Structure 1
Amino acid sequence: MIRRLARLIDPFAEASGPPPRRPWPFMRWALAGAWPAIWLTVLVTGLTGLSELVTARFTGWVIDAASGAAGQGDFWGSFWPVILFGLGFFLLLRPVLFVFDAAVSGVMLGPNLFPLVLARLNRHVLGHSMRFFENDFAGRISQKALQTARSLTDLVLEVTDVVVFSLAMFVGSFVLMAMIDARLLLVFAVWAVLYAAALWYFIPRVQTRSASRAGARTQVSGQIVDAYSNIATVKLFARDGDEDRATLSALDTFRDRSLDFGTLSAVFRMVLMALGGILPVVSILGALFLWTRGAATPGEIATTAMITTRLSMLTNRLGRASLSMFTHVGEIQDGIDTLTPAHEITDADRPRDVRGAKGAIRFEDVSFGYGTDSHALTHFDLAISPGEKVALVGGSGAGKSTAVSLLLRLHDVEGGRITLDGTDIREIAQTSLRDQVAVVRQDTNMFNRSALDNIRYGRPEATLDEVQDAARRASAHEFILGLRDNSGRTGYDARLGERGVKLSGGQRQRIALARAILKDAPVLVLDEATSALDSEVEAEIQQALEAVMQGKTVLAIAHRLSTISAMDRIVVLDAGSIVEQGAHDELLVRRGLYARYWARQSGGFLNAAE
């Protein structure tokens, strides 16, 4: 029965719409679908809190029953109601209630809320544009997502466990005090006002300092992850000391923020402890006073003592929980600020799903400047026919990679439009568009997964034979067979390390080529696809690519002009505009910008060709 409680929440259910940017609406979005389970937990925890008051009242009942008995006599005859109630409550009802209370928190909520929230956040983060990831640290983003999911999970658990339990006891205590003597409520009411005033004063300050501490912590994480991710550069430039100092500076800021938070927390807890100590002393003295006036029984004095002492202990627990909860709220707000901006690139309301594209691509008066006044592309017009092989050539910053990024909708055009088979790519679902394009980039990173998984990323349903065939065509099969990781896995099962650090640049590019070959998309984009290969391997790959490119629309970028000289058309860009285009031989005859590039790279070969 306990295990069935876990099924009340679907931990991987999708949320509707984007995440709101204010804490409470965000929490409703992140926890949608889990609220029935949360309310069930509130009910069970409330009953558990009230059971503590029943314990106190039972003690008073026993004392009054014993005080009213006529000395020695028949045990069962005098106390059978007390005995039956005690056996039923303490041996049956209370244990079952506490087991159920532990189950709803530890089985139903705890294991389900964290994956529920993190999955929704991760899904939203994955939908951000490339600009979002380019403007932040990957380690910082991931830390924020984990921090937000964990903080929201812990907040719910602490509210349902500590706050609801405490409120049930407070409300029940008011009722019991009123049953004893309404005058005791005055003490209780004054104390409650003082307690509420303390919370009102400290909580916003705790929340603010908590958010500052969370931000400083993620800066430390981002700094360390950034250094570790670029450890080769750190080592090659002997910047270990600089990175250490940068980390120490971030840690010093984090320490200062932690000291601010810790100081305030200590004062807050001291105030709550003082208030917690006042309550039982004043309440017990009040009950004793009422007893001297014949308005309270010994059992009611005992009940008052047990209730207020328990509340005093609970006050300290509630104080710690309050600090923790508003720390969580601060960290959640910090995560909201980072993770939940609206997606810069979104699908149309009814996006089209394209399959088996012919591969006709057209850039129509496209302009783009990464949100700045300077334009990477200006009035860019280019039509590529299905099956045509076009190369983009130009100096650094000419706009070649920008054109490819816009084609893939990694960024959206700022002017003009791009079409695939006559359809504006903004009307096509992003995933559907990118399914039609296989890409091999110059900067190729691998997942820290097996070689098999990295190649199969191009087509997850591919068989092992198909993966190996693609690897052979990319001249990667032989070196993959020789791989071995630190866990003893070999060949296609060997893991490649974070970002493929265990491979050379050429090996990474060959695996990336195998991945693109396996994908077998109608459009193939090669962004310096052979730049990291030596001449012998490059010759092998070029032969493989010639076969792969048959029947596909190809858009290639290369600084090494020998790799694209056989293309159907070469388009030369300068400062974001097309300055010339044509076949290799045609462009050489024109003696324009392309001819100068060729002469510079061929080392005099141009004159020989003439």
Structure 2
Amino acid sequence: MLSRVLQPLFRYFETRVNPYPEGEVKTPPKGLMPFIVHFSRPMLPLLLLMTLFTALVSAAEVVFFSYMGQLVDWLGNVERAGFWAENGLWLAGLGLLLLIGLPLLVLMQSLVTHQSIFGNYPMIGRWLSHRHMLSQSLAFYQDEFAGRVSQKVMQTALAIRETVTKVMDLLVYAIVYFTGAAYLLGRADLLLLIPLGLWLVGYLSIMRYFVPRLRDVSMAQADARAQMTGRVVDSYSNIQTIKLFADTEREQRYAKDAMEGFMVTVHRQMRLVTIMSVGLTLLNTALLVGTAAMAISAWYTEAISLGVLAIAIALVMRIRFMSDWILWEVAGLFENIGTVQDGMNTIAQKPTINDAPNAKALQVPHGEIVFDALRFQYAQAKGESKNVFDGLSLTIKPGEKIGLIGRSGAGKSTLANLLLRFYDLQGGQILIDGQNIAEVTQTSLRHQIGMVTQDTSLLHRSLRDNIRYGSPHASDEDVWNAVCRAHADTFINDLVDPKGRRGLDAHVGERGVKLSGGQRQRIAIARVLLKNAPILVLDEATSALDSEVEAAIQEQLDTLMEGKTVIAIAHRLSTIAMLDRLIVVDEGRMVESGTHQELLARNGIYASLWQRQSGGFLGLDIDGNGPNQQ
């Protein structure tokens, strides 16, 4: 009932800030405070309001203790006869004020804190971090565990909230309360401040010693936790490989090594906690005994009243319980700061592939591709880099269909990745219809290119969502037409996921693990058929298909390639022999170019490869030294 009455109030405070800020995606700054402020700007007015209400609540508690002391003194002197007649109305009013005023104050503080801040604040951090991480380059994710990155996005956003709210809420509450308590005790008798002052010196000493040590171990623990999670997620993501090689014991050791590293930080942390708890208990007990002794002595000499004695004991008891809470919260504050600093090292990295200032959308009226004097090498350890391309030039005419041939490491897939601008060149340029791809937006570039790879990865969503991924506005009829053209209709209707979803609604599992390699590849082909981009890249597009299905799909690929510029990469030469031009690449150089017949007549490398084919596969290295390891 009460929840329904408060629903409009809850909703009002829950919507005071948008948890999904729009606008340009920016790289967070690397300094701790600028990094925190970057994710906190939308929350600043609400954080200040929370701090104000916290200060008021803390002050109200001190005032309440003061009134209780005065009440004790008053009750000690008032006559019982006619007490209720003379004071009942005043006492009832005071009780009503406490019953209504303080809860209302706490309600406003709680609405701002829990409805406006606690849910929205970390979501702002997650949303902005996620948008930024999506802009990172392919190379970034090749050097990171996906589980480790995702955990840092989740953990860091929460740690930012905890850091800021602890500083602005906890410390304000403690400062206001402690100042008020010191004022009340000092006003009664300055001697009562001596135990409180000594306690404060000891308390700050404990914090100075333990908090930095807890911060350091917490930073190490956050990194160890991320490493442990990354290894576990890596095992689960590659469970098929683990099962295939029957090596679960190695995986257990691999995970256990990270878990043991995490436990080392846990033991260090808990040892500090035990020593700190014992020290704080001794300090708080000394405060209680010292204050009680001095207050009783002052009362005995009639320096203070019984009400002041009651206030002193009550305030010290409250401070005693608060001190333990505050110290743990401060330790938690530095633990969260450690988590933020650890996450900042990952999240605040600038993307290596960026759109040029004022980049325009790519227009592809014809489809000419020019690779002009390309120079490229993958980033490696200093002194170990080797050029993949050093001056490669190649022009593909509008609508021309070329096949790239060469052994592994020759640079075929790298050329496709450079065309998609997954990496930036060290020299030269790539032009599409005269437009340098480094000067157009990455989004528009990739919208104009359809690609089917040998290692097809699907999203853990429905088949419909996967097929429609490059064409979000396509109708269900268009989706099903692409499915039929890719010969995926032969198995889709039979698919059922664990939640009972069928056909196009069935979810395919992480990376499409619930489908066979051939099924995944047919879905990928359907996706590209539906996208219908003017430039088509086929990297072993039919390698996972059996011969019968490949022959059927080849007809659809022939139709798909009509009017498009095509780059096809294949080790099975029979799949690309009928293309307009075949190019043999070796060690980043174009060594032969021509039609299938022209290259056979030349009796060079291609002719040698063709003769060595067994069942249509490239079986040997082009130098003839052994089998080609693909």
TM-score (norm 1): 0.95
In the aligned structure 2, how far is the partner of 1:382 from the partner of 1:76? Answer: 104
**Preserved CA contact (<8 Å) 1:473 1:514:** yes
CA, structure 1 residues 241+605, in 2 after alignment: closer, same or farther (shift >3 Å)?
A: closer
In the aligned structure 2, how far is the partner of 1:605 from the partner of 1:286? Answer: 95
39, 43, 63: which is aligned to 2:48?
Answer: 39
Per-residue deviation, residues 181-220 of structure 1 (Å, max 9, x unmatched): 3443343333223222221222111111011112112222
- Give the aligned partner of residue 359 of structure 2: 351
CA, structure 1 residues 357+223, in 2 after alignment: closer, same or farther (shift >3 Å)?
A: farther
Amino acid of the structure 2 residue aligned with 1:41: M
- Give the aligned partner of residue 255 of structure 1: 263
Shift of 1:457: 0.5
**Preserved CA contact (<8 Å) 2:364 2:432:** no
CA, structure 1 residues 178+432, in 2 after alignment: closer, same or farther (shift >3 Å)?
A: farther
Amino acid of the structure 2 residue aligned with 1:69: V
507, 521, 524: which is aligned to 2:536?
Answer: 524
- Give the aligned partner of residue 426 of structure 1: 438
In the aligned structure 2, how far is the partner of 1:538 from the partner of 1:418? Answer: 32
In the aligned structure 2, how far is the partner of 1:231 from the partner of 1:80? Answer: 75
Range with greater deviation from structure 2 (347-356 or 361-370): 347-356
The correspondence of residues 370-389 of structure 1 with structure 2, limited to 5 A, is: 370-372=378-380, 373-389=385-401
Amino acid of the structure 2 residue aligned with 1:412: D
Matched, 1:17 2:26: yes
CA, structure 1 residues 51+409, in 2 after alignment: closer, same or farther (shift >3 Å)?
A: same
Shift of 1:80: 4.8
**Preserved CA contact (<8 Å) 2:189 2:304:** yes
**Preserved CA contact (<8 Å) 1:363 1:382:** yes
- Give the aligned partner of residue 190 of structure 1: 198
- Give the aligned partner of residue 116 of structure 1: 124
- Give the aligned partner of residue 135 of structure 1: 143
Structure 1 stretches of 5 or more lacking a match?
none
- Give the aligned partner of residue 590 of structure 1: 602
- Give the aligned partner of residue 410 of structure 1: 422
Shift of 1:179: 2.8
- Give the aligned partner of residue 623 of structure 2: none
Matched, 1:555 2:558: no
Matched, 1:469 2:478: no
In the aligned structure 2, how far is the partner of 1:80 from the partner of 1:282? Answer: 39
TM-score (norm 2): 0.92
**Preserved CA contact (<8 Å) 1:359 1:522:** yes
- Give the aligned partner of residue 63 of structure 1: 72
In the aligned structure 1, how far is the partner of 2:590 from the partner of 2:483? Answer: 36
In the aligned structure 1, how far is the partner of 2:437 from the partner of 2:512? Answer: 32
Shift of 1:503: 0.6
In the aligned structure 1, how far is the partner of 2:285 from the partner of 2:130? Answer: 46
Matched, 1:29 2:38: yes
The correspondence of residues 446-465 of structure 1 with structure 2, limited to 5 A, is: 446-465=458-477
Secondary structure of 1:33's match?
helix
Shift of 1:541: 1.3
The correspondence of residues 101-112 of structure 1 with structure 2, limited to 5 A, is: 101-112=109-120
Shift of 1:310: 0.6
Secondary structure of 2:337's match?
helix
**Preserved CA contact (<8 Å) 1:599 1:605:** no
- Give the aligned partner of residue 84 of structure 1: 93
**Preserved CA contact (<8 Å) 2:373 2:393:** yes
In the aligned structure 2, how far is the partner of 1:62 from the partner of 1:151? Answer: 44
153, 157, 174: which is aligned to 1:149?
Answer: 157
Range with greater deviation from structure 2 (43-52 or 434-443): 43-52
Secondary structure of 1:409's match?
coil
Secondary structure of 1:498's match?
coil
CA-based RMSD of the aligned residues comes to 2.0
Matched, 1:566 2:578: yes
Give the count of matched residue pairs. 605
**Preserved CA contact (<8 Å) 2:571 2:617:** no
In the aligned structure 2, how far is the partner of 1:50 from the partner of 1:356? Answer: 68
Secondary structure of 1:359's match?
coil
Amino acid of the structure 2 residue aligned with 1:74: F
In the aligned structure 2, how far is the partner of 1:185 from the partner of 1:428? Answer: 70
In the aligned structure 2, how far is the partner of 1:272 from the partner of 1:385? Answer: 79
Secondary structure of 1:482's match?
coil
Per-residue deviation, residues 351-407 of structure 1 (Å, max 9, x unmatched): 112245532221111111102421112211111222211221111000011111111
In the aligned structure 2, how far is the partner of 1:428 from the partner of 1:438? Answer: 17
**Preserved CA contact (<8 Å) 2:494 2:503:** yes
In the aligned structure 2, how far is the partner of 1:303 from the partner of 1:527? Answer: 80
Range with greater deviation from structure 2 (160-169 or 499-508): 160-169
In the aligned structure 1, how far is the partner of 2:305 from the partner of 2:91? Answer: 17
In the aligned structure 2, how far is the partner of 1:130 from the partner of 1:587? Answer: 36
- Give the aligned partner of residue 395 of structure 1: 407
In the aligned structure 2, how far is the partner of 1:76 from the partner of 1:584? Answer: 114
Secondary structure of 1:31's match?
helix
363, 368, 376: which is aligned to 1:360?
Answer: 368
Aligned identity (percent) is 40
**Preserved CA contact (<8 Å) 2:355 2:439:** yes
